[in-house]
Amino acid sequence: MSYSDDMFNVYEQTKKLQEDCEELQKTVNPFDNGYELGTTNPVQEDINGGILVDSFFAKRKIKKIRKKTHADLIKAIRNDDMKTLAQIIYFGNLDLTQKDSSNFSAMDWAVGCNRPIAVNLLLKANVKPDDHHPNVLSPLLVAIDPKKTFYGKHTCAKLLIRADADIMQTDTKEESALIKIIKMNMADLFEDISSYKVDKHTLTNEGEPLLLYAAKHAENDIMQNIMNWGFNIKDKTPRQETILHILAARPHKEKFIQKAIEQGVSINAVDILGNTALHYAAQNAQYNNVEILLKAGASPLIKNYKQELPKDKINRKTYSDTAVSKTSALLADAMCSAYQKILEETKNQEPKKITDQKPPFNLNGNSNQHQPE
């Protein structure tokens, strides 16, 4: 079952619970819904009698529900008794934002116990998705906790995001919900995030711009969206890495590398160790990325602060022989071309040979040069 199927089931079951509550409400006062009293028709009298009996029991049931406490509400969530929960929400006179002795609200319990239907019922009852105690993590952060997130909680998170939960709230480690979603590559959650909810100047707790953090951790479908959000593509990490440095070291990033180059990211920019994007691509044997960078004008002759050329950075132990050989061949050809170009430029700049120059004096000892008067 996909997440979309699970969301559909949540919505359908929520709708069914609400309809059941509405039917119970109609039973309390049945004669407000078209039934008539005082008829002489025996069949109708029997029907009316049955309706009156049902009405009596429905009133008793609703009266009993209205006596439910906040503890009963939490118990229904914990026991996965969604029918009782729906009745308490629909007929009860409870403050659904009330906290228990542990400062947990009904929404906290619904997310913590992995009850997406309960989350949806509470949201439909106008409980705010971010309603939580300051000392307790927001429901969304709980739902995407990497240590606890699984199928149901993932659905809870999706419901909260669709209800405009604050994705920029941070946990005790100053990691926001958005950063966690990117780190865990929850692409289906990311689909429901709009760019207007995101602060374009957001930094991670390590000081990295959000776009560059995504370049390190996000899969292509997330990366595709986030690159269209208007971030400054020329931002750098604290290590002075550009987005090209990061993308060049990773496979299947060709179209993003090309886009970054087209948007003006410096192709030969160096990090704090003097490495260019070509050094990164070579070290990780990403020959496709090496080829794109070389075609765009990356220099294979730039040395880092350890005097290493890109070809010197190739990790021959980690990557396959094919990847290493292709990367080596591309860099070798590029270096030969670069050296040839330097030689040609140097040759054009050489002074003329002495034998090709006209001597300052002729054979008769007369000077060919202009003499001062």
Is residue 240 assigned to a domain?
yes
The gap from C-alpha 131 to its chain's centroid, in whole angstroms, comes to: 23
d(C-alpha 80, C-alpha 68), whole Å: 16
**pLDDT tens for each residue of the chain, 373 residues long:** 456 678 889 999 999 999 998 888 888 776 555 555 555 555 455 555 556 777 777 888 888 888 889 999 999 999 999 999 999 999 888 888 888 888 888 999 999 888 999 999 999 999 999 866 666 788 898 888 766 544 457 889 999 999 999 888 888 778 888 888 888 888 888 888 877 778 778 788 888 898 999 999 988 988 988 888 888 899 999 999 999 999 999 999 999 999 999 999 999 999 999 999 999 999 999 999 999 999 999 999 999 999 999 999 998 888 888 999 999 999 999 999 999 988 888 776 665 555 555 555 555 555 444 444 4
For residue 162, being part of any structural domain is answered with no
pLDDT at 369: 43
**In angstroms, rounded to a whole number, what is the distance separating the alpha carbons of residues 173 and 175?**
5
316-338 burial, b if ≥16 CB within 10 A, otherwise e? eeebeeebbebbbebbeebbeee
pTM of the model: 0.76
The answer to whether position 103 is within a domain reads: no
Total domains in the chain come to 1
Containing domain of residue 285, as a range? 233-348
Per the domain annotation, does 175 fall within a domain?
Answer: no
Q: Does any domain span residue 339?
A: yes
Q: Tell me: the pLDDT tens digits for 23-65? A: 888 887 765 555 555 555 554 555 555 567 777 778 888 888 8
| Residue 282 resides in a domain | yes
Does 320 fall in a domain? yes
Question: 90-148, pLDDT tens digit by residue?
Answer: 988 888 888 888 888 899 999 988 899 999 999 999 999 986 666 678 889 888 876 65
Flag whether 259 is in a domain: yes
Distance separating alpha carbons of residues 248 and 211, to the nearest angstrom = 15
Residue 297 sits in a domain whose CATH number is: 1.25.40.20
Looking at residue 78, what is its pLDDT?
Answer: 93
Considering only the C-alpha atoms of the chain, give the largest distance between any 2 of them, rounded to a whole number of Å: 152
* Range list of H helices, the chain: 3-28, 42-65, 70-78, 82-91, 106-112, 116-124, 139-143, 151-162, 177-183, 187-190, 210-217, 220-226, 243-248, 254-262, 277-283, 287-295, 321-349
